[in-house]
Structure 1
Amino acid sequence: MVMIMNTRLEQDENDKWIGMGNQELLDYFSSYAAVKARHSYGPQGHRGMSVLIFESTARGYLEAERLHKHFAEQGTHREALGRRRGLFYPGGKRELYGYIAMKEDLDSFNQHSQGKSRLKFEMRSYQEMVVKQIRQMSEDNQQLIFYKNKVAKEQRQKVALEESFGIVSERLRKTMEENRIVRQRTKMQHEQNKEEMDFQEQFFKERIKFIHEARDEKEESFEKLQQQQREKVKQSNPNPSNTEEYRRRADEIAKFIKFQDEEMQAFVAERDKLIRAHEEKMVGMRERHWQEEVELEKEFDAELSHLMEKYTPDGSKVNTGNT
């Protein structure tokens, strides 16, 4: 609190003193952060004694001290009030005096006040009001700076993480797109290879079909040749009038037919043997083909698993076991 003295102005018709109002006093010292003004009254009215009340904080105390120094620099401090006889400036303007309030000042202020009208106050030391609060403010400020720096650091880390996440996400997106393109190309290549394999399969099937048809035609020609030979021998019979010759030719024909039958039986037996041998070779060839194809598939599966394991993140391992 700062005591403001010589604030009464004039006497009214009842010879009672009137003085400055609360707002008038606050406006007069508006450059100082006072929050309230009070005036002391006695039997004769306004006593010319007023108080500017500041915040009960270090800031309020420093503002009060600043006003106290202002009065001291102007020569209107506590001691000057007791020395000077004139209470007006030249021209009649009232001169105000001021100083930091002490307990005696406030007791005097409350001299004629009773109950709620009394100005309540509490004495506190400079150490408590300023030094301690400034120290606390300094600690709070340091803590605030610490948390600001911490928040700024976390914000930078957040930005860095977001940027890293964005970069990783973009790389992942590009990788996925590249993988999609590779899979598409692989699929197209697989379909192309399948078409070529189907074409080759059809080509070889047609060749085999042609060989089978040529073989069937050759066997049919062979059978016809045998039949023609038999018919030719049968048609070469001599005149039945020559009994001896007829009998001789009949024996020859019978021998030829028997010989031909024996040869055909031998042919059929050897043909069956040849067919069985051919079928066994075909079975062996197909078995080797399927075995080779299985081995190729296993080899491809192992190489693909190794490739996936190489590019699997987080140390995960792809199962390379073969079924």
Structure 2
Amino acid sequence: MGEFELIRHYFQRAGANPPGVVLGVGDDCALLAPEPGQRLAISTDMLVEGRHFFADVDPVALGHKALAVNLSDLAAMGARPLGCTLALALPRADATWLAGFSRGLFELADGAACPLVGGDTTKGPLNLCITVFGQVPPGQELRRSGARAGDEVWVSGQLGDARLALDALLGEIELAPEVLARARQRLERPTPRLALGLALRGIASAAADVSDGLCGDLGHILVASGVGAELDADALLASDAISADLRALPRERALHCALAGGDDYELIFTAPAGAHDAVLQAACSAATPVSCLGRITTEPGLRWQDACGRPLDLAWASFDHFA
């Protein structure tokens, strides 16, 4: 199978282009048409075999995750998807693998209204690079730099299960088969919180997606905003932000998975205390659970405390490829 036959068979789809796409797969460039007055939001993520995923991962799940991690960035900006491109390096043209990968990619792309509009293929070590394009009205984008003292700190969904699965797959912890299956689902098929990102426009003061661990990703917001935060570790462990599977583990491991694990692809965001009910209403409208973890302070830095207000030393860093 040649390169262009591969593209036509697995990645080029017949039919009219969706709204916002003037020209899609098959030309030298794609042509997108954002709605009048909208700003473009653009993000790129790369997934490398052996670094971001195991060699034996289900290709359907990998197709899903390759796009999901990019859509999560659009969600954190409060942007609506327009389309995406895929740069794909393959060691060989495996028809079974390609069929599964493209199916997982298109299932999520269709559900998120994010059509594949172009890209590139080459032979080499397995490497996936997707660029997403979205649109957001000026002044409604959710940036990292808007948190203010007194704001509440929120997180969507649940944290830590992806890291729990990774630890088990690396042989660092033994899990019951049903627990591993649930955790592995979170690792390999994250849910980009697009609906919540849109619902938080005009409510959240700052946002980021939790891709490298809550401590580090919240830290990006604090640095960009010139503020600090105080969070309650015991309240976190007792909240809906932690699954029953993670809560059943020793406290230290549960906290490490939740705070420094990464691969959660949830949203960490801040909002004025007076918008507490509005956040809950936005979460309800997006059918996405959220948990309030603490508050923003004027004093820089991230500080953790227990239920009695005693300070805790939880100075975990986010994942860093070059650290």
TM range (shorter): under 0.3
Larger helix proportion of the pair: 1
Q: What TM-score, normalized to structure 1? A: 0.16
Q: What TM-score, normalized to structure 2? A: 0.16
Structure of greater Rg? 1
Larger strand proportion of the pair: 2
Which structure has more RCO (C-alpha within 8 Å, separation ≥ 6)?
A: 2
